[in-house]
Each structure stands twice: as C-alpha cells, then as structure tokens.
A = this chain, B = another copy of it.
Amino acid sequence: MQEMRESNRRYAEEFARGDLPSSPRKKLAVLTCMDVRLDVQRMLGLDLGDAHIIRNAGGSLTEDSVRSLLISSLLGTEEVVVIHHTDCRMRDVTEDELRTKAAQKTGAIPPFELGALPDLQQSVRATVAEIDESPWLIFERVWGFVYDVSTGLLDEVVGRKDP
C-alpha cells in the first residue's frame, strides 16, 4: 500500500491541472472485463476525459452494467465498445464449477449467478445484441471486440464492415 501511496504522490506531481468535463469527450463508453491484463485506456489510445469505462467479471451486461450504461447515456454517450478477451477466467469453466469454488471460499453457495461465459466471439456478439435490445440503452452504435492478452491486439467482431 505504501508503494501505491508513493506512486500516487508522483502521479499528482505531474498531473496536468485544469478541470476536465465529466461528460465523455468522445461520447464513448467501454464495457469490458476486470482482468488484470487489460489496460483499457492504453489499448484504445484513450486520454483522460475521453470515455466512461465499465468493468466487471467477464465484461458482461448485468443489471449493474445496464445501470452504468444508462447513466453514461444521460451524460452524452452515443457509442459503446464491448471488449471481451482471450484466456478469460470466466470461460472454460461452468457455472456449477464457479459455484462450488465460491462455496469452498465462503461456506455457502451464492444466491446470484457467477456468470460463466460461452465461446469468446459468441459472448461478444451476445453482449452487443443485449445492449442493442435493451429498452434502457439508447445508443447510436455498439461495437464488439476481442482483445488478445498475448499480443495486445483488438479484433473487431461486431462492426467490422461499417465505417
């Protein structure tokens, strides 16, 4: 923790002061996984102020990410980028296996879904479709990408043919 406190002090010393607006400059929100190998801003070349970034286990559309995306749209977001990634720990595992592991850790089976994911491209397409179909999410465009954690490359799964 001490290391992080010192990193933050150095960060603040070089911090470009000046008030950035709280609405996303690129009118963009990114929905992606919490995975340790994703540096979302760097992989997309986003600057401070550009986009809302929503992250959970898997990069899934849940009630909470619907809530966050809806709030984002109220702040001016018009486009959403969904990014799932290779070697995700929410894949190649079944819901039952996740529940068993959770029960071993906590002593009981959680009353909520843990969100094991299907095939990678399929989960991107499904998440993009869910956003498109949600009555709470009004956006002009939703894009879907797969991120390769071993190369740093994004592969466009939904939106490739469009401008």
Contact = CB atoms under 8 A, between A and B. Distances in A.
A123 B150 CA distance: 38
Contacts of A49: 36-37
Interface residues of A, number: 89
Given A74-B105, A136-B106, A159 B1 contact: yes
A59 B142 CA distance: 23
A89 B63 contact: no
Given A15-B151, A105-B70, A23 B3 contact: no
Interface of A: 1-12, 14-15, 17, 19-25, 29, 34-39, 41-46, 48-57, 62-68, 70-75, 79, 81, 87-90, 98, 101-102, 105-108, 110, 112-115, 135-136, 138, 143, 149-154, 156, 159, 163
B42 A11 contact: yes
Contacts of A4: 44-46, 81
